[in-house]
Amino acid sequence: MNHDGYRANEWVRHLGVYEPGKPIEEVARELGFESIDDIAKLASNENELGPSPRAVAAMIAAAPRMHRYPDGGAFYLRRAVGERLGVSPDMLVMGSGSNELIDLLGHVFLSKGTSIVMADRAFVVYRLIAAAYEAETVAVPMRDYTHDLQAMAEAVTPSTRIVFVANPNNPTGTMVGQAEIDAFMRRVPAHVLVVFDEAYVELLEPRDQPDVMKYVREGRRVMVLRTFSKTYGLAGLRIGYAVGPKACVDLVHRVRQPFNVNAMALEAAQAALEDDEHVARTRRMVADGMRQLTVAFEAMGLEYVPSVANFVLVKVGRGREVFQALQARKVIARPMDGYGLPDHIRITVGREADNAQCLEALRAVLGR
């Protein structure tokens, strides 16, 4: 792209451009499908059960009030989330998706001459945000598709401002456990902010969720990111939050827009938070669907990365071609060459019929 004539910041001209997938309607039109109803969209780790019915009711009830600005302080939602987590509301800040909070943390902590540490196959957004603030990214190789926390602690230098740990990680679906986290927290120098991105953690039964909130309560320099996009099924609304020591939360408040989270999202998130049944149903769907997919992968002789999240990396060989061929069979998965995994695709776990459609297409495409 030629930006001649614009006095843009030099580093911005060289940023990579995030390419979102095409709208499903457009894919259907290009491939000549009559409707989108029979397409299995298993590309973005969304909740295939949809939003909580209580969240839908709350949105409908809120619609006539949309001429009002939202509650910029997110008073009720911070109180409700704080009660659930056992932290005070002033340790919480809401974002337009947890992606916005990653950006806001970049705004607060990153600039030229600083750096972040992340795992080489962790969520790509961390390095995109670092580049947008002119910071360097130190990408530490994973071991067995899993964060190597010891190596990440050793990779910290005086210029490191943030260490990102996606747990569970997207796109690998792997998780580091309590013992590794505790050992990492003993080693990591006090000057860095550790960000635990827990976008998928609610999919785990509470007894299986690592406890990083204890570090927040102890006042360590730790921020925990959560989102309503995955387990709660509200990806379209864009709402997530960060939990951390009050002093760090205060810094984030200074750089956010006064109305960064919309009013519909605040209402829906509050209702979804109370709907434990929907979370339980979602966990069951994911557990059943994961079994359905992995049993079939084994029968087909396909290697996969065991996952605790609502998606799975499977090795199909020539991932981008397989992705295209699946799409022609009304199944949308995600190619992984962008993550340096050209032989893999990532499949989101859906309802039984979606998964079956995906498996049937995969058998046909791979001839297995």
**Which stretches of the chain bind ligand PLP, using CB under 6 A?**
45, 97-99, 123, 166, 170, 197, 199, 227, 229-230, 235, 240
In angstroms, what is the minimal distance from the CB of 7 to ligand PLP?
31
Angle separating helix axes 53-62 and 263-274, nearest 10 degrees? 150
Using CB atoms, what's the residue nearest to ligand PLP?
Answer: 97
In angstroms, what is the minimal distance from the CB of 175 to ligand PLP?
12
* Beta strand segments in 51-121, E: 92-95, 115-119
Shorter beta-carbon distance to ligand PLP: residue 91 or 203: 203
Shorter beta-carbon distance to ligand PLP: residue 28 or 234: 234
User: In Å, how far from its chain's centre is CA 196?
Assistant: 11
Shorter beta-carbon distance to ligand PLP: residue 28 or 200: 200
In angstroms, what is the minimal distance from the CB of 365 to ligand PLP?
26
Q: Is the backbone of residue 165 left (phi > 0), alpha (psi -120 to 50) or beta?
A: beta
In angstroms, what is the minimal distance from the CB of 159 to ligand PLP?
24
Shorter beta-carbon distance to ligand PLP: residue 123 or 215: 123
Residue with tokens 């699946």: 326
In what side-by-side order are the strands of the sheet with 334-335? 304-305, 311-315, 344-348, 334-335
Q: Whole-angstrom Cα distance, residue 301 to residue 346?
A: 17
In angstroms, what is the minimal distance from the CB of 202 to ligand PLP?
12
Shorter beta-carbon distance to ligand PLP: residue 97 or 319: 97
User: Which H helix or E strand runs over 79?
Assistant: helix 75-85
Give the count of alpha carbons within 13 A of 220, CB side only.
22
